[in-house]
Amino acid sequence: MPVAGHMHDHLDGIVTRFAPSPTGRLHIGHAYSALFAYNKAKENGGRFILRIEDIDAGRCRPEFVAGIAEDLRWLGLSWEEPMRKQSEHMDDYRAALDTLAGAGLLYPCFCSRRDIQEEIARAPSAPHGPEGALYPGTCRSLSAPERQDRMEKGDAYALRLDVAAALARLDAPLVWEDLAKGRQEAHPEILGDVVLARKDTPASYHLCVTLDDHLQGITHVTRGEDLFHATHLHRLLQHLLGLNVPVWHHHPLLLDEEGKRFAKRNHAVTLKSLRDAGSLPEDIISRFD
Ligand code: GLU
């Protein structure tokens, strides 16, 4: 029932999420992104979800999961429990891979990082995307018996999406609505044949994030502009897997005094160290105005 005075527009009852990987303590850039998602939900009578993206067993650690919760609570955020941890849902990702494999859209890739670099060096005109040289497609052209042979030998392989084959099945261009940048046409080929199941873990960021946003009913995917290009691919995966299509809001990245983005590799200031040094939540939040 409509509530008097309550705004009803397309944002009403939205669901947003913050989806960190527990590979370290949160820094101030994460705080900005988490608050962006949280405020967007709360300003619109919506729900906010915290999801832990921990498929990378080699880099993710339980103490960082606890640290994320501690830091976000300190900032004043709350979320629905239990929070989804991707590592507990590998069956979901396996089922999605089976769907894509059944449609003939995946192929095994036996290349090492070094194989790929060498192949790219041999073919300097190899296609490049926004994040550098694309996978040159070496394993796409292996024959079925060659694939079989290498699998039987026990060679490790990743599963890659055959993007050209997937695009050939579209009967209309894929588009998405981006609240920051307007309507976008998706061109997943700019990322090449991405890995959807890694050699060391039978899933990938792209697969898990896209499936989870659907399974959790996310209506607004808010995240940093650094992931803008990934959305081209996510839009294709949604189409291939028959998933709901959210709206995206890629927000600018928070920059430090030198104009550089905060990132783990810059040893950016973590929320924990700021707190330990006496900062209050409002000191952090006021930096975002
Ligand atoms: N887990 C990703 C990260 O930590 C973010 C996922 C997303 O927002 O799409 O960078």
| 7 has a pLDDT exceeding 50 | no
User: CA–CA distance from 278 to each of 29, 73, 204, 242, 269 (Å)?
Assistant: 19, 16, 38, 49, 13
- List the 158-161 sheet strands across, edge first: 106-109, 158-161, 195-197
* 7 inside domain: no
Q: What is the pLDDT of residue 110?
A: 98
- Give the whole-number percent of the chain exceeding pLDDT 90: 87
Query: Rounded to an integer, what distance in angstroms lies between the CA atom of residue 3 and that of residue 82?
Result: 29
Q: Cα–chain-centroid distance for residue 137?
A: 23
* CA–centroid distance, residue 95 to ligand 1 (Å): 22
Q: Which atom of ligand 1 is nearest to the CA of 209?
A: 9
Residue 133, class by beta-carbon neighbours within 10 Å (0-12 exposed, 13-18 middle, 19+ buried)? middle
* 118 inside domain: yes
Q: Map residue 27 onto helix, strand or coil.
A: strand
Q: Choose one of 227, 228, 254, 262 to mutate for the ligand 1 pocket test, by most ligand atoms within 8 angstroms of C-beta.
A: 227
* CA–centroid distance, residue 11 to ligand 1 (Å): 22
Q: What is the pLDDT of residue 268?
A: 62
Q: What is the pLDDT of residue 115?
A: 96
* CA–centroid distance, residue 19 to ligand 1 (Å): 5
Reported for 80-86, long-range contacts at CB under 8 A and 24+ positions apart, including other chains, are: 80/47, 80/48, 80/49, 80/50, 83/49, 83/50, 83/51, 83/52, 84/49, 84/51, 84/52, 84/212, 84/216, 85/51, 85/52, 85/54, 86/51, 86/52, 86/53, 86/54, 86/55, 86/203, 86/208, 86/212
Per DSSP, the residues of 111-162 read --HHHHHHHHHH-TT--EETTEEPP--GGGG--HHHHHHHHHTT---EEEE-
| 95 has a pLDDT exceeding 80 | yes
* CA–centroid distance, residue 151 to ligand 1 (Å): 32
Enzyme catalytic residues: 264
Q: Domain total for the chain?
A: 1
125-139, 142-156, 218-232, range with the lowest pLDDT: 125-139
* 6 inside domain: no
* 5 inside domain: no
Q: Are 186 and 174 in contact (CB under 8 A)?
A: yes
Q: What is the pLDDT of residue 47?
A: 97
pLDDT in tens, 30-81: 999 999 999 999 999 999 999 999 999 999 999 999 999 999 999 999 999 9
Instruction: Please state the pTM of the whole predicted model.
Output: 0.93
CATH number of domain containing 88: 3.40.50.620
Q: What is the pLDDT of residue 265?
A: 58
Backbone angles phi, psi at 247, to 5 degrees: -100, 150
Query: Rounded to an integer, what distance in angstroms lies between the CA atom of residue 269 and that of residue 275?
Result: 10
* 141 inside domain: yes
Q: What is the pLDDT of residue 1?
A: 37
> To 10 degrees, what angle do helices 62-75 and 28-42 make?
60
In short, whether 53's Cβ falls inside 6 Å of ligand 1 is yes
Q: Whose CA is nearest to atom 3 of ligand 1?
A: 20
* 4 inside domain: no
Domain membership of residue 209 as a residue range:
15-286
| 167 has a pLDDT exceeding 70 | yes
Q: What is the mean pLDDT of residues 225-240?
A: 97
Which of the four pLDDT bands, split at 50, 70 and 90, describes residue 219?
A: very high
pLDDT in tens, 171-189: 999 999 999 999 999 999 9
* 264 inside domain: yes
What residues does 213 pair with on adjacent strands?
Answer: none
User: CA–CA distance from 128 to each of 107, 163, 197, 228 (Å)?
Assistant: 21, 15, 22, 17
* 108 inside domain: yes
Q: Whose CA is nearest to atom 6 of ligand 1?
A: 19
pLDDT in tens, 242-270: 999 999 999 999 888 888 887 665 556 89
